[in-house]
Amino acid sequence: MREEKTPLQNSISKLSRYLVAIFLAASSLILVVGYVDKLPWLEIFLLAVAAAVSAIPEGLPAMVTLVLAIGMRAMARRNAIIRRLVAVETLGSATVICSDKTGTLTLNEMTVRRIYVDDRSLDVTGEGYQPQGEFWHGGQKISPSAQPSLALLLRIGVLCNDALLTREESCCDIMGDPTEGALVVAVAKAGMDKEKLEDKFPRLDEIPFQSEKQYMATLHPGDGGRVVYVKGAPERLLSLSKYVMRQDSVVPLDEAGVRDIMVAGVAMARDAMRIIAFAYADLPGELTELRDEDIRGNLVFVGIAGMIDPPREEAKAAVKLCRDAGIRVVMITGDHKITAEAIGRQLELAPGKTVTGAELQEMSDGELSGQIDDITIFARIEPLQKLRIVEALKSHGQVVAMTGDGVNDAPALKTADIGIAMGITGTDVAKEAADMVLADDNFASVVAAVEEGRAIFNRLRNVLLFSISTSIGELLALIVALLVVGKAPLLAVQIIWVNLVTGTMVAAPLGLEPKLGDELKQPPRSPKTGLIFSGFVLRNLYLAALMGFGAFLIFAWLEPRVSLDEARTITFCAIVVFEWFLTINCRTDEQTVFKLGFFKNRWLLISILAAAVLQAAAVYLPFLQIAFRTVPIGPGDWGLIILTGGIIFLIEEARKALFPKLFSRGKW
């Protein structure tokens, strides 16, 4: 199967075709001019070769590779591991980020705060994973062991559970899912021991948690039979329950009982708590294999627990940065609708509707597409529903970044423009399907990656601008001099030196240019806008004209006054110096270097100094003089070169100050 080219590869291919066309046109023009001027065929051939060398920026592939490598390393330092090149290119175009809530927008450090059992709400104290806390009701401390329904709820929570509480020097930590870990800690606060309970009620079988089922069930020995313990979404367990436990007795679950439980759950959800329900059922003693049918309609509902998972502070700031950058954040969660909305308010998500998985299931693709731009939160969502969300957003021309961690998230990650897998909690399948992996599972790292992606794209444009404008500038100086003076201002070997040595040396540090700081204040780049745009082409021609005509004027003025070798040497040095000035110009297209700072990119200054040493060697060392056919030049000649280059430099900086948006057409 042939691999599809990335937008960057398409842009480079398109640019290559343009450069080949320029090379062919320039070579043809030189052949015609040489024939008309009756130049020797060998000289005409050498000039055509020189034109080819001028038109093609030989160091460009190496510089593009360098920029991408440096950019990916910067992303890695900010916990974004790039798996596919397309992610670097697409990040700058992202218009929507669909993010999981738990662990990405929140800390994923659950703490049980409230329990509803026996038609009353109990408060649980304590912080984090430390098993110190108390149970309170109506201002009175209570003992869980003296409350049969509460003790049963806690026993269900710890036995229908795969997490472990580990004790270390700094106290405690959780091995396993944070939601289950919070239940283990709550049980420890009640003075109950998970290991002793597991010895007394060993697990005989289980139904693992699945997002589609929204519950987990485990089978244990009971009094003369079997008992199944179940935990999951309250609405799901209520639909499977026939009875409810109240004050150590089991009574039928009626509409009023369901309403009371739902009201308690809504109260927890409004306080941004994740809600989990608990139930059980007595089963025959001969049962050895647990099936869904065994619990359907047979459950005794015990109660619900509310646990808090506070938003990340850095996520709040990242959401604001997204808003400034023109990127919409859509939160996708398996939590209750009201809980999701409460977290959304704390994160200051953009106003919008909330749609649940059940509501999404009832929508047709057309209905979802018609509403998708108004939806900010998706609650009680199953992983496979993420695919529909991505497709609906893309149908509106949105460039979608989607986070995910599970096996079932893989289709959505693959379909999204940028699939982002979690590095800590993500499965291997999710990581394989993703374009990028977050090492810290943090939403702020997604936004950091977008910022770095935009910066990388800007650096690529700067490198291209310098490489193309200087190449065309050399070609322009060569052709105009041939037409007007009848002699070439540079030899082929000198042009190769400029392109491969001094030019590439000062261009490479453009890939190390620090971020401007306004990357997230610009609008998302249209996916149809590549490296090359109309304003970029005009600026290339403008800078090439400044450099080319500047070099031509120096050569035309010197040629009748000094020897041809000296005129060429001075022109040779002038083009090199002009490139140094243009490198500084190319650091940005709108901000002047005086505002940006001369010394912000120290590697550029170091490379210019190194290039100056090499150029001086080419002019003054005898064996290099023979190779490049140069002659020593004096201080006055260098003064002329620097004065002309400085004028060109100031013209472009004045343009930025007076008309900063002159070449911005089509940029976004």
Three-class secondary structure of residue 173 per DSSP = strand
Q: Cβ of 534: how many Cβ atoms within 10 Å?
A: 13
Is 100 noted as a catalytic residue in this protein? yes
Q: Which of 100, 335, 405, 637 is catalytic?
A: 100
Residue given tokens 């109260």 in the structure block: 267
The tally of CA atoms less than 13 A away on the side-chain side of residue 537 is 11
Residues 520 and 447 sit within 8 Å (Cβ to Cβ): yes
**Alpha carbon distance 363, 375 (integer Å):** 13
**Alpha carbon distance 607, 394 (integer Å):** 44
DSSP annotation of 351 reads: S
**Alpha carbon distance 489, 485 (integer Å):** 9
**Alpha carbon distance 614, 631 (integer Å):** 15
DSSP 361-395: HHS-HHHHHHHGGGEEEEES--TTHHHHHHHHHHH
Residues 447 and 440 sit within 8 Å (Cβ to Cβ): no
**296: which 2 tokens?**
């359907």
Residues 164 and 185 sit within 8 Å (Cβ to Cβ): no
Q: Cβ of 485: how many Cβ atoms within 10 Å?
A: 15
**48: which 2 tokens?**
């055509």
**547: which 2 tokens?**
């450099």
**23: which 2 tokens?**
């090379």
Best CA proximity match to 666, nearest among 568, 529, 503, 552:
529
Q: Cβ of 130: how many Cβ atoms within 10 Å?
A: 15
DSSP 208-243: EEETTTTEEEEEEE-SSSEEEEEEE-HHHHHHHEEE
What are the residue numbers of the active site?
Answer: 100
